[in-house]
Amino acid sequence: MAQPAADVLIIATLTGFAKMHAIQAAHFTAIGAFSEVVLGYFERDRKDYTKIPLREQVEVLSLIGDIATDRRAPKVHAHVVVGRADGAAHGGHLLEGRVWPTLELILSDVPQRLRRRTDPESGLALIDPAA
């Protein structure tokens, strides 16, 4: 279990952690809170994410993701559901989130190597089961 420090950007921190520890395949889950978060919704026609910024304190109700290699570098892929103060929930691809005050994250190494390859149809870097 890891507990990232308050006020860090979680995707950047996880990517740096994976590089530092040569992690090629992992799965993680987390709960906690963000002081701000940017969600992404993949627009199929544009083959790109629409950014959905929430510049307010939110609870991390569920965060799940993986780490795989993309061009020999670790790539973090995560989805999140966050709750606002009024109880409304918002979810999507986690582009970035600023931890505050805490994020309880459990990261498990995966014994197989996971590699991403760019899918020509979607333009996304997807896990290649044949790699």
Q: Is 13 helix (H, G, I), strand (E, B) or coil?
A: helix
For the chain, domain boundaries: 10-112
Residue 2's pLDDT band, with cuts at 50, 70 and 90, is: low
**Does domain 10-112 bear CATH number 3.40.50.300?**
no
Whether pLDDT at 109 is above 60: yes
Residue 121's pLDDT band, with cuts at 50, 70 and 90, is: confident
Q: Is 19 helix (H, G, I), strand (E, B) or coil?
A: helix
Q: What is the mean pLDDT of the chain?
A: 93
67 bridge partner residues: 26, 76
Question: What HEC string does 67-122 produce?
Answer: EEEECCEEEEEEEEEEECCCCCEEEEEEEEEEEEEEEEEEEEECCCCCEEEECCCC
> Average pLDDT, stretch 84-105?
98
